[in-house]
RNA sequence: GUGCCCAUAGCUCAGUGGACAGAGCAUUGGAUUGCGGAUCCAAGGGUCGGAGGUUCAAAUCCUCUUGGGCACGCCA
């Protein structure tokens, strides 16, 4: 628990007037204008209860306040009671608290709880475009956030490794492909074959029939089809792993759609056993209220994506006994997940409410809509390479002396790509823009990295001059670190809120605010001064900022650097 | 046609019941004989898509409406 400032303030409040403590805590807010005070209580509601005029009540309350060790003065301004608190005191309290616990195991919210996360989930044989970045980095960040809160997190990469598209790929590979090209650059090569298939099949529709036949064989475990499919899969996953490594993303399992292919019949039987299915137009469906029916089997008897997802969720519940199951999948699939969860509900499954779809907006492109089939796509690796290249160039200009430049450029470049994706609400669509992606100024990941690096350098200099820095009760804090301390104190609540809303951007925004507060402080005050006491208290504040920045960036899945 | 999502400064976005609506980018002007200028400070720029309603109080909640996006039984 952070320093409970509102609780402390409200305690004093209830000692002078008869009012519920929780009520005051819920009313306490930050004034819109910092000049009005540090905290404020709007008096409209209490005035109504007491049948008084709000401004008079505020005035009356202010007159009852006496200065004490935590509240310096209280001032009525219109219907608001503005409080000026002891900034030095609270700055010290916050620094003390952070120095003491260092954010290890802050909240035990997730203790003994398991969350299963389904994220990234690219399709084999489709290149890892920036479209896949979102699910990957949002999922990865949520995974780190929940782990931080003590949850056991199972990350599952639900690879798209099954379906009629593999019939197409096998057809194309057998017709035009060769092993050498495949091994050399598997995903791009398969992608080329995929594009070529669609080009050729427009001229010769019979190719579609050949493709269907190959997928049919694959489902029947035909040895040749299986061998080719497995080769595609293994080589592709190898490629994906390389990209994930660059992004710092890890999964507990790479169980794709094919993993569930043997469970489909029994899954359909389970759904049928709950007597909610119907046969309609030769297909097996589950009629749903207020939404289109969910289809379990096509008229030709084969199953669908939804059937596989039902199989997957039943399997995951049985295997992991999760308390929470998250699907980090784009917003176009909202209906699909509503249907999935509704089917669970109709089956009488109580834990269905533990499953959540975490939707996010799509990446759009300024000119054309990107079609995988036609071959228009921006590759994630291209984006990462450009960002890293730019970072590297700037490092050469500005910091030619630093060690391991390549590693630093990689961390800064990739980090900026990740941050760019996480800084806004997930649900918003993103229009891809090179200028924005490669911008290293302002509200960017680079800004945070730079701030962290500069703090590291500052603290290094400080320790060379004055030795290590640690908290002790004799220190007298000034007011200059107050804005920072208030933000530092919000860190834990920020993490909890981002977990509750499944929204990494809340942490991203918070870190920008914190870094900005630090940079303002840094420009206005010297840390290393002739006064030992002042230097030490300021260095402690800065040390806390460093801790929070580092922890926060790691929660977003971004590696921090000491210099850049 | 039905359902869901989005709409706030030129651009990209914060802000889910409280005081004159905030950032970044872009534009303009400033800051370094001292801790990293990838920084900081300042200026201009807004009928919060529109109309009703609820409330002491609405960008925020409700209804309607306009514009954009997505989805809608045999793809995933």
Q: Find which of A101-105, A140-144, A373-377 is predicted with most confidence, using mean pLDDT.
A: A140-144
Which pLDDT value is given to residue A274?
94
Any domain includes A219 = yes
- Residue A107's pLDDT band, with cuts at 50, 70 and 90, is confident
- Specify the number of domains making up chain A: 2
The verdict on A140 and A80 lying in the same domain is no
The verdict on A149 and A245 lying in the same domain is yes
What letters, b where the CB count within 10 A reaches 16 and e where it falls short, cover A229-243? beebbebbbebbeeb
* A122 DSSP 8-state letter: P
Distance A469 CA to B60 C1' (A): 45
Which pLDDT value is given to residue A205?
84
Whether residue A369 is predicted with pLDDT greater than 50 in this model: the reply is no
The verdict on A81 and A203 lying in the same domain is no
Give residue for tokens 């003994």.
A112
Q: What is the CATH number of the domain that holds A44?
A: 3.30.1360.70
What letters, b where the CB count within 10 A reaches 16 and e where it falls short, cover A440-454? beebbbbbbbbbbbb
Residue A496 exposed, middle or buried by CB count within 10 Å (0-12, 13-18, 19+):
middle
The verdict on A131 and A242 lying in the same domain is yes
Distance A424 CA to B20 C1' (A): 27
Distance A122 CA to B5 C1' (A): 23
The verdict on A154 and A242 lying in the same domain is yes
Q: What pairs with residue A358 in β-bridges?
A: A328
The verdict on A200 and A273 lying in the same domain is yes
- Residue A341's pLDDT band, with cuts at 50, 70 and 90, is very high
For A77, the 3-state DSSP assignment is strand
Separation between Cα atoms, residue A8 and residue A12, nearest integer Å: 7
As a whole number, the mean pLDDT across chain A is 91
The verdict on A272 and A319 lying in the same domain is yes
Q: Find which of A75-84, A179-188, A449-458 is predicted with most confidence, using mean pLDDT.
A: A449-458
Any domain includes A48 = yes
Any domain includes A381 = no
Give the helix/strand (H/E) hosting A193: helix A186-203
Give percent above pLDDT 70 in chain A. 97
Angle formed by the axes of helices A482-489 and A505-524, nearest 10°: 160
Whether residue A366 is predicted with pLDDT greater than 70 in this model: the reply is no
Any domain includes A235 = yes
Residue that terminates a domain, selected from A365, A394, A420: A365
Give residue for tokens 């650097």.
A561
Any domain includes A448 = no
Query: Is A564:A449 a contact under the CB 8 Å cutoff?
Result: yes
pLDDT: is A290 or A371 the higher one? A290
The first and second tokens of residue A371, run together, are: 């079609």
What angle is formed at CA A370 by the lines to CA A367 and CA A373, rounded to 5 degrees? 145
Separation between Cα atoms, residue A456 and residue A563, nearest integer Å: 7
* A280 DSSP 8-state letter: E
The verdict on A77 and A214 lying in the same domain is no
Measured from Cα to the C1' atom, the residue closest to B21 is A32
Nearest nt (C1') to A27 (CA)?
B18
- Residue A195's pLDDT band, with cuts at 50, 70 and 90, is confident
Residue that terminates a domain, selected from A349, A365, A381: A365
Q: What pairs with residue A21 in β-bridges?
A: none
Q: Which residues contact A95 (CB under 8 A, 6 or more apart)?
A: A471, A477, A481, A485, A488, A537, A540, A541, A544
Separation between Cα atoms, residue A272 and residue A312, nearest integer Å: 17
Nearest nt (C1') to A83 (CA)?
B19
Task: Quote the domain boundaries for residue A147.
Answer: 114-365
Any domain includes A256 = yes
| Range list of H helices, A374-476 | 380-398, 405-422, 434-437, 445-466
Measured from Cα to the C1' atom, the residue closest to B70 is A332
Any domain includes A402 = no
Which pLDDT value is given to residue A489?
94
Distance A362 CA to B67 C1' (A): 19
Which of A309, A382, A314 is closest to A339 using CA atoms?
A309
Strands in A290-354 per DSSP E: 291-297, 324-328
Lowest-confidence region among A151-165, A186-200, A338-352, A502-516 = A186-200
Query: Phi, psi (5° rounding) for residue A20?
Result: -70, 135
Nearest nt (C1') to A54 (CA)?
B56
The verdict on A168 and A280 lying in the same domain is yes
- Residue A370's pLDDT band, with cuts at 50, 70 and 90, is very low
Distance A318 CA to B7 C1' (A): 43
Flag whether the ipTM exceeds 0.90.
yes
Tens of pLDDT, residue by residue over A231-251, are 999 999 998 999 999 999 999
The first and second tokens of residue A5, run together, are: 């400032």
Distance A242 CA to B60 C1' (A): 44
Separation between Cα atoms, residue A189 and residue A183, nearest integer Å: 9
Q: Chain B: nucleotides under 7 Å from a protein CB? A: 3-6, 12-16, 18-26, 31, 34-41, 56-57, 69-76
Q: What is the CATH number of the domain that holds A354?
A: 3.40.50.620
Any domain includes A524 = no
Nearest nt (C1') to A302 (CA)?
B74
The verdict on A315 and A211 lying in the same domain is yes
Nearest nt (C1') to A299 (CA)?
B74
Greatest distance between any 2 Cα atoms in chain A: 89
Distance A359 CA to B39 C1' (A): 36
Give percent above pLDDT 90 in chain A. 70
* A103 DSSP 8-state letter: T
- Residue A104's pLDDT band, with cuts at 50, 70 and 90, is low
* A350 DSSP 8-state letter: G
The verdict on A143 and A74 lying in the same domain is no
The first and second tokens of residue A205, run together, are: 């529709």
Distance A470 CA to B70 C1' (A): 54
Measured from Cα to the C1' atom, the residue closest to B34 is A526
Query: Is A115:A326 a contact under the CB 8 Å cutoff?
Result: yes
The verdict on A184 and A222 lying in the same domain is yes
Measured from Cα to the C1' atom, the residue closest to B19 is A32
């Amino acid at each position: 628990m952070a320093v409970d400032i509102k609780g402390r303030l409200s305690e004093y409040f209830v000692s002078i007037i008869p009012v519920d403590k929780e009520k005051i805590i819920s009313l306490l807010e930050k004034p819109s204008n910092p000049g009005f005070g540090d905290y404020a209580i709007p008096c409209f509601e209490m005035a109504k209860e007491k049948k008084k005029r709000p401004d008079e009540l505020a005035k009356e309350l202010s007159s009852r306040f006496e200065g004490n060790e935590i509240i310096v003065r209280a001032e009525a301004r219109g219907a608001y009671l503005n409080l000026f608190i002891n900034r030095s005191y609270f700055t010290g309290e916050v620094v003390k608290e952070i120095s003491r616990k260092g954010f290890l195991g802050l909240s035990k919210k997730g203790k003994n709880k398991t969350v299963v996360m389904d994220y990234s989930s690219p399709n084999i044989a489709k290149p890892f475009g920036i479209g896949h970045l979102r699910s990957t980095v949002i999922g990865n960040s949520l995974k780190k956030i929940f782990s931080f809160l003590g949850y056991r997190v199972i990350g599952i990469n639900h690879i798209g490794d099954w379906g009629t598209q593999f019939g197409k790929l096998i057809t194309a590979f057998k017709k035009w492909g060769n092993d050498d090209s495949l091994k050399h650059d598997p995903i791009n090569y398969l992608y080329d074959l995929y594009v070529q298939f669609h080009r050729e099949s427009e001229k010769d529709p019979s190719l579609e029939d050949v493709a269907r036949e190959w997928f049919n064989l694959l489902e029947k475990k035909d040895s040749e089809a299986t061998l080719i499919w497995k080769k595609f899969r293994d080589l592709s996953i190898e490629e994906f792993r390389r990209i994930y490594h660059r992004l710092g993303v890890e999964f507990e399992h790479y169980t794709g759609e094919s993993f569930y292919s043997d469970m489909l019949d029994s899954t359909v039987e389970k759904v049928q056993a709950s007597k909610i299915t119907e046969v309609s137009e030769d297909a097996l469906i589950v009629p749903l209220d207020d939404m289109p029916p969910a289809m379990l089997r096509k008229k030709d008897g084969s199953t669908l994506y939804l059937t596989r997802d039902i199989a997957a969720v039943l399997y995951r519940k049985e295997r992991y006994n999760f308390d929470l199951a998250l699907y980090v999948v784009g917003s176009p699939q909202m209906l699909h997940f509503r249907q999935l969860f509704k089917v669970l509900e109709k089956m009488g499954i109580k834990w269905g409410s533990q499953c959540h779809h975490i939707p996010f907006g799509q990446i759009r492109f300024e000119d054309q809509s990107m079609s995988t089939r036609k071959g228009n796509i921006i590759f994630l690796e291209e984006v990462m390479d450009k960002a890293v290249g730019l970072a590297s160039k700037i490092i050469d200009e500005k910091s030619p002396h630093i060690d391991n430049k390549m590693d630093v450029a990689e961390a800064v470049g990739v980090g900026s790509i990740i941050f760019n994706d996480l800084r806004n609400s997930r649900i918003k669509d993103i229009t891809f823009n090179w200028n924005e992606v490669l911008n290293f100024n302002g509200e960017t990941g680079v800004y945070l990295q730079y701030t962290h690096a500069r703090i590291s350098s500052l603290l290094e200099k400080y320790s060379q001059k004055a030795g290590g820095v640690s908290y002790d009760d004799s220190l007298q804090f000034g007011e200059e670190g107050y804005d920072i301390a208030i933000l530092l104190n919000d860190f834990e609540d920020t993490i909890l809120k981002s977990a509750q809303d499944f929204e990494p951007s809340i942490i991203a925004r918070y870190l920008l605010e914190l870094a900005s507060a630090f940079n303002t402080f840094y420009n206005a005050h010297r840390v290393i001064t002739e006064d030992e006491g002042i230097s030490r208290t300021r260095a402690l504040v800065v040390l806390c900022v460093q801790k929070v920045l580092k922890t926060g960036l790691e929660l977003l899945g971004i590696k921090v650097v000491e210099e850049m």
